Amino acid sequence: MRHEIIDASQLELNDKVVSIKRVTKVVKGGRTMRFTALVVVGDGQGHVGAGLGKATEIPEAIRKGKEDAAKNLVTVALDDNASITHDFIGKFGSASVLLKRAPEGTGVIAGGPARIVCDMAGIKNIRTKSLGSNNKQNVVLATIAGLSQLKSPEEVAAKRGKALSEVRA
């Protein structure tokens, strides 16, 4: 995965909670309840990240999740019609997410967790299919892994030492 260091303080980040789970730990005195929040943040301009927060209260878990997500931002290569530059399969654990490029007017065709990631990244036209595990956390992380590995035509042309018109052909 490509991770450039992005200063989250200069971005106008929106956040969306994907899931909140109650987790318990059994100790000698009984069970201790905590909450785990999976949060996705993005600026709608090609930056997106996901984070986990755990705390005894839900608002605190969400706040911690937001902070964690802001530390793990990735940049997404978008094309002219707010879609991705090429098709790709993102993988994380046993979850795989197929990301397909889509023409203008298609909209975001994606299941719950993948849809949230695409919306936060500012993608307007994309088709996705969740393959393998349906675990929300793994689907979100697989989607972000796939989006972070996308390359723009300019990057590919520079890497191959060719002109941009040769790559697009």
pLDDT digits (tens, 9 = 90+) for 129-159: 999 999 999 999 999 999 999 888 888 888 8
Residues 108 and 126 sit within 8 Å (Cβ to Cβ): yes
pLDDT digits (tens, 9 = 90+) for 90-107: 999 999 999 999 999 999
pLDDT digits (tens, 9 = 90+) for 14-62: 999 999 999 999 999 999 999 999 999 999 888 999 999 999 999 999 9
Triad 77, 9, 62: Cα angle to 5°: 90
Report, at the CATH architecture level, how domain 76-161 is classified: 2-Layer Sandwich (3.30)
Domain over 8-74 is classified CATH 1.20.1090.10: no
Residues 133 and 94 sit within 8 Å (Cβ to Cβ): yes
Written as six digits, the tokens of 35 are 């909450």
pTM attached to this predicted model = 0.89
Ranges of each domain in the chain: 8-74, 76-161
Instruction: Tell me if 8-74 shares its fold with 76-161.
Output: no
- Closest to 46 measured CA to CA, from 124, 130, 157, 138: 124
Distance, CA of 38 to CA of 23 (rounded, Å):
13
- H helix or E strand, kind and range, residue 122: none
